[in-house]
Amino acid sequence: MGKTILIVDDSESIREVVSFTLENEGYNVLVGVDGKDALKFLDGQSIDLVITDLHMPVMDGIELIKTVRKTEGYQRIPILFLTTESQVAKKMEAKEAGATGWIIKPFVPSKLLDAISKVLR
Task: Name the DSSP letter for residue 33.
Answer: S
Task: Encode the chain (121 residues) as per-residue pLDDT tens digits.
Answer: 689 999 999 999 999 999 999 999 999 999 999 999 999 999 999 999 999 999 999 999 999 999 999 999 999 999 999 999 889 999 999 999 999 999 999 889 999 999 999 999 8
Q: Give one word for 73, left, alpha or beta, with left for phi > 0 and alpha for psi -120 to 50.
A: left
Q: Give one word for 90, left, alpha or beta, with left for phi > 0 and alpha for psi -120 to 50.
A: alpha
pLDDT at position 86, please?
Answer: 85
- The dihedral built from the CA positions of residue 29, 88, 61 and 33, taken in this order, carries a sign that is negative
